[in-house]
Amino acid sequence: MVKTLLGLILSITLTNSPVNTINYLIEHSLTRDQQTVIIEGEILGEVLERGDNAWINVNDGTNAIGVYLRLDQTTELKVFGDYFNIGDKIRVVGVFERSCIEHGGEMDIHATSIQIIEPGRPIDHPVSSWKFVISIILMSIALFALYLKRHYFKKAEIKSEVN
Amino acid sequence: MTDKFKGLKIVLYYTGYIILGFSFLNLLPVAVALLYKDFNSALDFTLNFSISAIIAIGMMTYGAETKKIKNSINLRYGLTVASLTWIILTMLAAIPYMLSGHMLSYLDACFDVMSGFTTTGVFLLQDLDHISQALNFWRHLLTFVGGQGMVVLALSFFVKEMGSAYKFYVGEGKDIALMPNVKGTSQWIWKISMVYLAIGTLVLWISAMGLGLQPLSAFFHALYIFEAAWSTGGFAPNLQNVMYYHDFGFELIGMVFFIIGSFNFGLHFALIQGKRKEFFKNIEVISFTITSLLGTALAVFALKNAGVYSDGIALFRRVVYNVLSAHTTTGFGSIYARQFALEWGGLGITVMVIAMLIGGSACSTAGGIKGLRVGIIFKGIVSDIKKLVSGENSVKVVKYHHIKDLILDDAVFRSSAAVAILYLVMFAGGVIITTAYGYPLAESAFEVASVSGNVGLSIGIISAQMPTLMKWYYMMAMYLGRLEFISVLALIGLMFKGAKQWLRRY
């Protein structure tokens, strides 16, 4: 409860603070180490549960990073990015760890709060009609060529055996 | 068979045969796409199957007369077939990449395919986290097949059609004989790989589900990570590579498989036959153990001293893991590319460059100069020094153990040294080009060692925005590094001969 409240206060305080890109954090990891930072990006894949906590991976377009958070913080996350979806875009406020002692030296962010700033949406992958037509034509040619090859080469083999 | 274009016909016939066999692999991603009701990707691979099959049959038809002389093919043609097959397959396998819309150019698509086939693992693909399951399947399939060898795959099935099989087999940089015949050897290479594929995928699948991944998703993650580990390829389905999973156990399982994958198929075969002592006597295992221990010790010393990592687990997961990944030429990265440049310092980068250049075992899925050659060169030099110091006139026979006891004569030493020198020349050329574009020396050396040794770790230079000349050079380095020069030199020689004949005729 206290942690949630502190997180809330911190996120309100940092609302107007600049958002860092993940690549910026990597490049300036020494100076940003164990500082509270803000990143914004798309959540990817799936929630990786670890008991009462969890990992989510966030991609901000420059790079992707693991965000460690409480499992209950993930309940509001609905859409995760993959081929079929653009994931929810979230704002993460948390402590940046250059070499996290808790996680085997991983560069990560321990989230104090997360907030969805843009809900995810499905990606449309319409089947192009030209691709469909060309596929049918080329497939027919390929199958016909395979049929011819089978007969032509068999015939040539018999002929060479006779000779 | 008439002499006119005889060589061309032989080469095209057999290259066509291998391409035809390969074209059927496209049907696997079609099945994956249909499983996900992804008709767009299914069409991409159907198109690629058709184009590959048509081209292959065209080539075979042109060289059809070759069937009559299948048992008397010159070694030069065998080598040329292997090297030409890799080029044409690279161009064909790049088609689904282009159709996916995730590549900025066809050259970039070819770069990624070459990286996959040669088990390098660097990529220029855009927005990896949003590519289709079918394309991800294709990327990892290419690296798995490339690791064992496309020609080896073809020989396993079509050896009856491919007379003079040994001449094709050696063209792919493999020369170990597991069985008295090449078909048996090729099939054994695939049997070993498939058994490991089943075991590895199952273990990783269970582990991935334990991480919280859904069963189907966990299966594909497990399959991809195994394929990339075993082939020492280094691809992963997400941008963060193995960092996506945030789990020591998962990393460790992958690590076991990439170390095993970097061992010689001859060693695997010996162990299967119960010859356990081979593991402790083999020159490659000894060479790998020594260089790995030295490399990890130096890197741990450098990173610990720099204060980057404080505890043992972190040093293992971030330093030992990456050094072994580099040494086995795998390319899985448990830190960000830029961390090498920003945190590893001169000593750390030097260790990585040397580890990447040495590489894994000969006749394995790994790249680099190879432990066998390093062992032979080292033993040869030590023997020469001993001879000089002792001043003995007597000729002492130097032996080394690799599957059996072998004599280290001048010819063996020379051929090992020649390949090592060619690697170093290629490496130097790449460093010169990269630094000429303004990149720092240490970073250039890291990146060029990575592509020359078919590793796949990056320090941040490789990107779709890098100069075109560098893309071409890196592709050539991956290709030459994987085929170990000889086959490519045979292809170039044959091309020159053909051009000369053509000019004389017209």
Which candidate, B232, B292, B293, B222, places its Cα nearest to that of B261?
B232
Q: How far is CA B200 from CA B190, B258, B453, B491, in A?
A: 15, 11, 25, 37
Residues of A in contact with B38 (CB under 8 A): 83, 125
Is residue B321 domain-shared with residue B431, that is, in the same domain? Answer: yes
Based on the structure, what is the number of domains in chain B? 2
Give the pLDDT confidence score for residue A11 in this predicted structure. 52
Domain boundary among B152, B179, B206: B179
Verify whether the Cβ–Cβ distance B336 to A63 is below 8 Å: yes
Give the pLDDT confidence score for residue B363 in this predicted structure. 79
* Any domain includes B311: yes
* Any domain includes B47: yes
* Any domain includes B88: yes
Q: How many CB atoms lie within 10 A of CB A163?
A: 6
Q: How many CB atoms lie within 10 A of CB A27?
A: 17
List all residues 6 or more positions away from A113 whose beta carbon is below 8 Å from its beta carbon. A7, A8, A10, A11, A73, A92, A93, A94
Q: Which of A55, A99, A155, A159 to mutate to test the interface with B (most CBs of B within 10 A)?
A: A99
* Any domain includes B206: no
Shortest CA gap A30–chain B (Å): 9
List all residues 6 or more positions away from B334 whose beta carbon is below 8 Å from its beta carbon. A106, B241, B242, B243, B251, B317, B318, B321, B322, B325
Q: How far is CA A42 from CA A55, B168, B459, in A?
A: 14, 48, 25
Q: How far is CA B444 from CA B250, B429, B453, B456, B482, in A?
A: 31, 11, 14, 14, 20
CB B78 within 8 A of CB B168: yes
Q: What DSSP string describes B11-43?
A: HHHHHHHHHHHHHGGGHHHHHHHHHTT-HHHHH
DSSP state of B455: -
Task: Tell me which residue in B40, B247, B314 faces A99 most closely, judged by beta carbons.
Answer: B314
Domain containing B72 equals 6-179
Q: How many CB atoms lie within 10 A of CB B166?
A: 15
pLDDT per residue rounded down to tens, chain B (506 residues): 556 677 788 889 889 988 999 999 999 999 999 999 999 999 999 999 999 999 999 999 888 877 766 556 677 777 788 888 889 999 999 999 999 999 999 999 999 999 999 999 999 999 999 999 999 999 999 999 988 876 766 665 555 555 555 555 555 556 666 666 767 777 888 888 899 999 999 999 999 999 999 999 999 999 999 999 999 999 999 999 999 999 999 999 999 999 999 988 888 888 888 888 888 988 889 989 999 999 999 999 999 999 999 899 999 999 999 999 999 999 999 999 999 999 999 999 999 999 999 998 887 888 889 888 888 999 999 988 888 887 766 667 888 888 788 888 888 888 889 889 999 999 999 999 999 999 999 999 999 999 999 999 999 999 999 999 999 999 999 999 888 777 777 777 777 777 777 777 76
Is residue B172 domain-shared with residue B288, that is, in the same domain? Answer: no
Please state, in angstroms and rounded to a whole number, the distance separating the CA atoms of residues B145 and B193: 10
CB B446 within 8 A of CB B349: yes
Touching A: B residues 62-91, CB under 8 Å = 64, 67-68
Is residue B145 domain-shared with residue B289, that is, in the same domain? Answer: no
Please state, in angstroms and rounded to a whole number, the distance separating the CA atoms of residues B47 and B303: 49
* Structure tokens that stand for B206 in this block: 């269970």
Verify whether the Cβ–Cβ distance A106 to B243 is below 8 Å: yes
Shortest CA gap A39–chain B (Å): 17
* Any domain includes B268: no
Token pair 């030099």 is found at B381
Verify whether the Cβ–Cβ distance B240 to A128 is below 8 Å: no
In chain B the first and final C-alpha atoms are separated, in Å, by 22
Give the pLDDT confidence score for residue A65 in this predicted structure. 98
DSSP state of B317: I
Please state, in angstroms and rounded to a whole number, the distance separating the CA atoms of residues A91 and A116: 6
Verify whether the Cβ–Cβ distance A123 to B245 is below 8 Å: no
Q: Which of B65, B133, B316, B336 to mutate to test the interface with A (most CBs of A within 10 A)?
A: B336
In this structure, the strands spanning B404-407 and A36-50 are unpaired
* Any domain includes B195: no
Residues of B in contact with A145 (CB under 8 A): 53-54, 57-58
Please state, in angstroms and rounded to a whole number, the distance separating the CA atoms of residues B38 and B95: 17
Which candidate, B148, B326, B147, places its Cα nearest to that of B233?
B147
- Rounded to 5 degrees, what angle do the CA atoms B260, B265, B271 make? 75
Provide the 3-class DSSP secondary structure of residue A53.
Answer: strand
Touching A: B residues 309-348, CB under 8 Å = 309-311, 313-318, 334-336, 338-339, 342-343
Domain boundary among B160, B179, B198: B179
List all residues 6 or more positions away from B294 whose beta carbon is below 8 Å from its beta carbon. none
Residues of A in contact with B58 (CB under 8 A): 145
* Any domain includes B337: yes
pLDDT digits (tens, 9 = 90+) for A79-126: 999 999 999 999 999 999 999 999 999 999 999 999 999 999 999 999
Please state, in angstroms and rounded to a whole number, the distance separating the CA atoms of residues B350 and B334: 18
Please state, in angstroms and rounded to a whole number, the distance separating the CA atoms of residues B10 and B99: 32
Touching A: B residues 214-273, CB under 8 Å = 214, 217, 238-240, 243-248
pLDDT per residue rounded down to tens, chain A (163 residues): 455 555 555 555 555 578 999 999 999 999 999 999 999 999 999 999 999 999 999 999 999 999 999 999 999 999 999 999 999 999 999 999 999 999 999 999 999 999 999 999 999 999 989 999 999 999 999 999 999 888 776 666 666 555 5
Distance from CA of residue B430 to its chain's centroid?
18
DSSP state of B170: G
Task: Tell me which residue in B46, B130, B132 faces A135 most closely, judged by beta carbons.
Answer: B46
Is residue B158 domain-shared with residue B283, that is, in the same domain? Answer: no
B402 in contact with chain A, both atoms CB, cutoff 8 A: no
Is residue B155 domain-shared with residue B282, that is, in the same domain? Answer: no
Please state, in angstroms and rounded to a whole number, the distance separating the CA atoms of residues B470 and B460: 14
List all residues 6 or more positions away from B52 whose beta carbon is below 8 Å from its beta carbon. B19, B20, B22, B23, B26, B92
List all residues 6 or more positions away from B122 whose beta carbon is below 8 Å from its beta carbon. B115, B331, B450, B451, B456, B458, B462, B474
Is residue B162 domain-shared with residue B302, that is, in the same domain? Answer: no
Q: Which residues pair with B407 in a beta bridge?
A: B399
Q: Which of A23, A83, A107, A154 to mutate to test the interface with B (most CBs of B within 10 A)?
A: A83
Task: Tell me which residue in A64, A83, A149 faces B133 most closely, judged by beta carbons.
Answer: A83
Give the pLDDT confidence score for residue B501 in this predicted structure. 73
Which candidate, B301, B323, B359, places its Cα nearest to that of B120?
B359
Task: Tell me which residue in A55, A104, A142 faces B53 most closely, judged by beta carbons.
Answer: A142
Q: Which of B62, B129, B214 to mutate to test the interface with A (most CBs of A within 10 A)?
A: B129
User: If 0-12 CB within 10 Å is exposed, 13-18 middle and 19+ buried, where does residue A150 land?
Assistant: exposed
